[in-house]
Amino acid sequence: MLFETVATGGCRSYLIGCEETCAAALIDPELSQVDRYAVLAARDGLRIKYLVDTHTHADHFSATQQLARQLNVPVVMHGSSPAPFVDLRLQSGELLVVGKLRIQAMHTPGHTRDSMCLTVEDRVFTGDTLLIGGTGRTDLPSGDAGALYESLFDGVLRLDPSTKVFPAHEYKGRAHTTIGQELAENPRLQKRDRGAFIEMMQNLNLTMPTHITEALRTNMTGGKTVAQMLAEAAAIVPFMSLAELKACIESGKCDFTVLDVRERDAFEEGHVQGARHLPRGQLELRVNQELTDPTRRILVYCEFGRVSTLATATLRQMGFRGAVALDGGMKAWREAGYTLVAGKEG
């Protein structure tokens, strides 16, 4: 078996491949690493056949959907996953055939209702059901401490004690552990009584993961993250530097329209000399009155450089092939000490 671990902060993804057939499965891929997985698979001579999420993640952005589009392979989750983009829904005990490898699903609800562990050869991928020296939390949507107790003590912990444990999170850099080691040393597993275990899990008082709303929204629905929206806009837009814009204005040879897409009060407080005002919210509806020459260069700016990127992408989609976004925004412009003009347009 060929085996690669990819760590993204505390998140772990695993690439497992069959040496004989070059078939591979990728477990719990993370959105910021999409290019890395493809490169790793290519380096190892593997072709990814399945993209598996052990559960609906609340703390990172799953890359399964994007990779499925790129690689044209199915997304695999447990049968109870709410995500509409899942192609293959496994029930407990079912196998994924990856060349000569057999990856077996074990439904382990508790951290989430759709959690599953995956066993293959000498190891188990435990998702957030069992962590090294810990367990997944049960206080997030669809979590259930009683279900986790059963999934652990009647499920994953009954695997052979020598089975290697590879969790979806590891914050201390340990590669793996074993079922036997966890049974002996994991502090969460020392409460063998169901009631005591549930009470312990319900009193952990953990802070909410960052980006939980966005992670659940995108992982459950297949929708896009804000970063994806911005990256897609930025990919079809050219940029102009602050210094270049300043030089153009100072030389008096500004042969393009400068468009401020912030709200009116921000514009009137201070804008770039000669700028026209067209708030982002009204862009599509007022563009025919305000921007009559589709061939003209239009430099778009906002406060931070993000809204202007989206607005420039919209303008280019509408046919304004000369639309350019400012690399940075008025915040950076002010901080650089560049000149602003207060007051209304005109």
Binding site for Fe ion (CB under 5 A): 57, 128
- Using CA atoms, how far apart are residues 90 and 79, in angstroms rounded to an integer? 5
Nearer to Fe ion, 17 or 110 (CB): 110
Residue 231's contacts (CB-CB under 8 Å, 6 or more residues apart) are none
In this chain, which residue has its C-beta nearest to Fe ion?
128
Nearer to Fe ion, 138 or 309 (CB): 138
CB of 215 to Fe ion, least distance (A): 9
CB of 137 to Fe ion, least distance (A): 8
CA distances (Å), 86 to each of 52, 65, 196, 212, in order? 9, 8, 36, 20
Nearer to Fe ion, 144 or 268 (CB): 144
CB of 140 to Fe ion, least distance (A): 7
Residue closest to 91 by CA, chosen among 102, 105, 76, 81: 105
Across-strand partners of 106? 117
DSSP string, 146-186: HHHHHHHHTTGGGS-TT-EEEESB-SS----EEHHHHHHH-
CB of 73 to Fe ion, least distance (A): 23
Nearer to Fe ion, 119 or 219 (CB): 219
CB of 116 to Fe ion, least distance (A): 12
Nearer to Fe ion, 114 or 128 (CB): 128
CB of 267 to Fe ion, least distance (A): 44
Nearer to Fe ion, 115 or 314 (CB): 115
Nearer to Fe ion, 49 or 57 (CB): 57
Q: Exposed, middle or buried by CB within 10 Å (0-12, 13-18, 19+), for 105? A: buried
- Using CA atoms, how far apart are residues 217 and 211, in angstroms rounded to an integer? 10
Place of tokens 């040879």: 253
CB of 169 to Fe ion, least distance (A): 7
- Using CA atoms, how far apart are residues 181 and 164, in angstroms rounded to an integer? 9
Residue closest to 18 by CA, chosen among 93, 120, 92, 105: 120
- Eight-class DSSP state of 41: H
